Chain A
Amino acid sequence: MPLPLRSLHAFAGGVHPLGNKNTDVLPSIHLHGFKEVELLMQQHIGPPCTCVVKPGDHVDVGTLVGRADKPMSVPIHSSISGTVKEVHYVVSANGAPVEAVRIESDFNHTINPFCKPPKVESFEDFVQMIRDSGLVGLGGAAFPTYIKINPPKNKMPDTLIVNAAECEPYITADYRQICEHPDDIIDGILEVMKWLEIPKTIIGVEDNKPLVTRIFSHEIKKRIYKTGKHPDIEVRTLKTIYPQGAEKMLIYTLTGRKVPPGKLPIDVHTLVMNVSTLRFIGLYLKEGIPLTRKRMTLDGSALNTPGNFIVPIGARIQDIIEAAGGTREEPKKIIMGGAMMGVALDRIDHGIIKANNAILVFGSEETTLPPESPCIRCARCVNSCPMDLIPCGIDKATRLRDTEMLEKYHVMDCIECGCCTYACPSKRFLTQSIKNGKVMVRAERARIKKEQELLAASQQKGGSSPS
C-alpha cells in the first residue's frame, strides 16, 4: 500500500496540547431510556425554527417538531417517542433565551412511519433532502449543511475536503465514527461528489491516527474492487497540531489555498465537511431517519466510565452523565465541547444540541484557573496564532476599550481557537478579551453606520429646505 501523501503546506503557529484521546479504543455505546428530552428550537447558526407541536401531542422518533420557515434554518425532529409536555423558553448553554420543547418518553422508541429512504433524482432533490433531514455541520459550528452544498452557481467547489483531523484534546467521537462506519462515510462522500459534480476529494487525517488512514485507504480500495469505478478520493496525513481541524487551516494545509478574512471556504472553491456530517448523509439515504441521535465523547477525571456514547438529541446533560456511568467524584467543571473551544456550564440540565460532540466532566485534578499576571510580551501568543494576529496587542486594546486600535490589530479575523490563551505563560484570558473586543468593534461599527445615516438624512433635509 503506498503511503498516504504528507501535506506540503503548513500554517504558522498552533500549539501542542496533550491529546488525552483516552476513549479512542472504546466502541460507541447507544444510550436509551431517557425519561425526557428538551429540544431547543435553535440548534444551528441561523434563525430559530417555528414550533409545530403543542402540549399533549404524541410524537415518534423523527416527527417534525420545529419547522424551518426562514432561510438558513433547518428543521428539528423529535429524538424519542412520547408526549409533548411543555413548550417554553429556556436559557441555552451560551446564555441566550430560546424556545424549547419538553417531550416525555413512552419508552417505545417507535419510529415515525413517514421516515423512509428519500428518493433523490436531481441536485435540487439532494439539497431539499439534506434540509429535510435536519442536518447541520456536526464538527461543532452547526452551519446548515443544505446551505453549504448549495453554493452560488459561479462558485462551485472543485475539491471536497473531509475533515477527519479531530484536533481537539479528549474528543474521539469522529475517530470512533470512522472506525465503526467507514462505509457510510464513503457513501456520503460519493453522494456529495455525485450531486455537486466535485471531481476530487481529500480526506485530511492527523498523523497520530494511523488507523484512520488505513481504514479509509482500505475502504476506498474495497469500493474500487466492488464497483470498478475509481473515485478520486485521496487520504492525506496532517501534522498533529492544534488547530489543524480549523477550516481555514485545513484548507491551506491540504490545498495551499488561503481563505481571505470574512470569506467562506467556497470562495476558494472548496467544500469542507466533517466525517460525521458525511456519515449522516450516507446513513440518511439508506434509512431516512432525520438527525435525532448524536455520537459524543464523555471524558474527564470525574467520570466513572469515559467513552463514546450515542445519545438522543435533547437529552439533558445530567441524564447523559448518569446513563453513561455517573461520576466518581464531584465534578468541578463541566464543558460542553472540547477542552480548547468548549463552553463551561454553570448548570447541567441543558438538552444537548446537534453540534455537541463532547461533554467533559473535569474533577479537581484537571480544573485549574491560574490567576492572571501582567503580559511580559514573550510573543508566545503571536507565535502560536494560526491567523498571524497579535493577541497580546488585541488584549491590551480591549482593556483600553480602544476600538481604533482593535481594528488595526484585525480583531475580527480571530477564529477563537484558544491557542494564544493556551500558550500564555502569564495565564491571561486572551481569547475572552478578544471576543469582548469583537463585541466592542461591532458596536462601534454599528454606531458609526447609524451616525452616517443620520448625517446623510439631515443633509438631505438641509439641502432641500433652502430651495
Chain B
Amino acid sequence: MKLQVSHSPHVRDKATTQSIMLDVIIALLPATIAGWYYFGIRAVLVTMVSVASCVIFEYLSRRVMKRNNTISDLSAVVTGLLLAMNLPVSIPIYMVVIGAAFAIVVVKQMFGGIGNNFVNPAIAARIFLVIAFPKAMTSWVVRVGEWYSLKSVDAVSSATPLTQIKAPDAPSLWKLFIGDKAGCIGEVCILALLIGAVYLMVRHVIRPWIPMAYIGTFFLLVFFFGHSNVFNFSGDLLTSQGWADLFHESLYMLLSGGLILGAFFMATDYVTSPLTTKGKLLFGMGCGILTFLIRYYGNMAEGVSFSIILMNILTPHIDDWTMGKPFGEVKENAKV
C-alpha cells in the first residue's frame, strides 16, 4: 500500500489563485462591456490586443527565463484587461503592445513573476505610456459616431471631465455616473464598476477597507479643501439645489477620472497592498491624500495612477508598521 504523506491540514479550501483571478475578470467585465458600448468596436480591439499581448508576453518571458509556465493562473489576463481599461480608445495599437510588454516583462516577470512585483503592472504600464506618449494618452474621445469605426484619427478630441469642471458644457453627475463622458475605456461607467466591486466583495475576493479609506479620504479632502469647498460655500442650504451645490464638486471629483476604477480594482491588488486591515486603511488614506494633492496641485491628470503606485512602493513599510500584536499578547511581554 502506497500512502501519501503530507503535513496537516489535509483538507483545503476550494479557492485557488486561478479562481480568484477569474472572479476579478468577471468583476471587470461589466465596466469593460460598458466601455465597449460607449467607445465602439475599437475599444473591443484595444481590449483584445492588450489581453492577448499580456498573455503572450507572460508565456514568452517565462519560457525565456526557463521557468514553469504561469499563464493558467489568469493573472496576465487580469493585467491585460486592467491595462486596456486604463487606455483611451484612440490609442495606436502598437502602443498597447508596448504597454503590455512593459507591464508583463519589466514590471512583473523581471521581478519574479506573480506575487513578486512591487508595483501594480497595469498602473506602471499606464504611467509609462503617459510619459512616453503623452499626446496619444491624453487625447480623449466622446462617443464616436460610427460604432463600428476602427479608425482612431476620426475621433473627436475632448477634454476629460476632470479638466472641464468649470466649463459650461461639463457633463452632469448622472452622465458621469452612467459613463456618458470622455475618458479611458474602463473608467467611464461608474455604475458598471460598482456592480463589479460589489461582486468582488460578495465573493470575499476583496475587503472594503482600501476603497472605503481611499474614497472617503478623497471625498472629505475635496469637501473641505477643494476649490468650492464647504468653507467658501455661498449657496443656499435651505433649498435642495443648495445641498446639491454643496456636494457637487466632491461628487464630481469622485465620479470623474479613474478614481472608482483605481480604488476598487487597482489599489486592492493583493500583491501591492498591505496585509492587515489597519495597513489597508492606512494605504487607502494615503492614496486619497495623494490623489487630492496631485489633482489639485499637480500639473498632470494622473492623480489616481501616481498615488496608487507611490503607495505600492510604501506597502512593505506599511506592513511593517501595522504588524500588530498576536492574540493575547499584552504590553509588558510584547517583544520589541
Contact = CB atoms under 8 A, between A and B. Distances in A.
B180 interface: no
Contact of B335 (A345, A348, A407): A407
Interface residues of chain A: helix, strand, loop or mixed (majority): loop
Contacts of A345: 3, 5
A360 B9 CA distance: 12
A259 to B, nearest CB: 5
The interface centre, meaning the residue of A263, A360, A368, A378 with most chain B CB atoms within 10 A of its CB, is: A378
A344 B326 contact: no
Contact of A410 (B9, B12, B20, B335): B335
B275 A379 contact: yes
Given A261-B333, A376-B114, A368 B326 contact: no
B169 interface: no
A291 interface: no
Contact of B9 (A331, A366, A409, A431): A431
A86 interface: no
Interface in B312-336: 319, 323-330, 333, 335
Interface string A436-455: 00000000000000000000
A158 interface: no
B6 interface: yes
B299 interface: no
B20 A377 contact: no
A373 B4 contact: no
A425 B17 contact: yes
B115 A374 contact: yes
A340 B326 contact: no
A388 B1 contact: no
Given A331-B3, A382-B276, A413-B329, A418 B8 contact: yes
Interface stretch (A64-72, A112-120, A389-397): A389-397
B329 A260 contact: yes
Contacts of A17: 9, 11, 13
Contact of A393 (B1, B12, B271, B275): B275
B276 A258 contact: no
Contacts of A376: 17, 20, 75, 114-115, 270-271
Interface in B72-117: 73, 75, 112-116
A425 B19 contact: yes
B333 A169 contact: no
* Residue with the greatest number of chain B CB neighbours at <10 A, chosen from A344, A366, A408, A409: A344
Nearest to B328: A258
Contacts of B73: 373
A360 B11 CA distance: 12
A334 interface: yes
Contacts of B8: 335, 337, 339-344, 416, 418, 421, 431
A3 interface: no
A379 B270 contact: yes
A260 B328 contact: yes
B115 A422 contact: no
Nearest to A335: B10
Contact of A346 (B5, B75, B207): B5
Contact of A387 (B6, B19, B20, B327): B327
Contacts of A379: 270, 275-276
B9 A388 contact: no
Among B319, B325, B327, the most chain A Cβ lie within 10 Å of the Cβ of: B327
Contacts of A380: 13, 15
Interface in A337-361: 337, 339-348, 360
A263 B273 CA distance: 34
A33 B258 CA distance: 74
A396 B115 CA distance: 12
A424 B11 CA distance: 11
B326 A425 contact: no
A15 interface: yes
Contacts of B239: none
A382 B326 contact: no
B166 interface: no
B7 A432 contact: yes
A367 interface: yes
Nearest to B15: A425
Nearest to B112: A374
Interface in A245-271: 248, 252, 258-263
A425 B327 contact: no
Contact of A261 (B19, B276, B324, B328): B328
B327 A362 contact: no
Given A379-B276, A390-B323, A393-B275, A423 B4 contact: no
A346 B3 CA distance: 6
Contacts of B70: 373
A326 to B, nearest CB: 13
A224 to B, nearest CB: 36
A423 B15 CA distance: 8
Given A379-B276, A426-B17, A369 B4 contact: yes
A366 B4 CA distance: 11
A431 to B, nearest CB: 6
B10 A362 contact: yes
B16 interface: yes
Given A376-B115, A377-B271, A390-B275, A413 B11 contact: no
B20 A425 contact: yes
A258 B330 CA distance: 9
Interface in B161-218: 207
B3 A334 contact: yes
A370 B10 contact: no
A260 B275 contact: no
Interface string A266-300: 00000000000000000000000000000000000
Contacts of B207: 383
Nearest to A260: B328
B323 A330 contact: no
Given A331-B1, A378-B270, A389 B326 contact: yes
Given A262-B333, A376-B20, A407-B335, 10 more contacts: A331-B3, A333-B3, A344-B4, A344-B5, A344-B7, A376-B114, A377-B271, A422-B11, A426-B17, A431-B8
29 contacts: A12-B327, A17-B9, A17-B11, A252-B327, A258-B330, A259-B328, A260-B333, A262-B333, A330-B1, A332-B4, A333-B10, A339-B9, A344-B6, A348-B3, A360-B10, A367-B4, A370-B16, A378-B270, A387-B327, A392-B275, A407-B335, A408-B323, A410-B326, A413-B327, A416-B8, A422-B11, A424-B12, A425-B19, A431-B8
Interface of A: 11-12, 15, 17-18, 169, 248, 252, 258-263, 330-335, 337, 339-348, 360, 362, 366-370, 373-380, 382-383, 386-390, 392-393, 407-410, 413, 416, 418, 421-427, 429, 431-432, 435
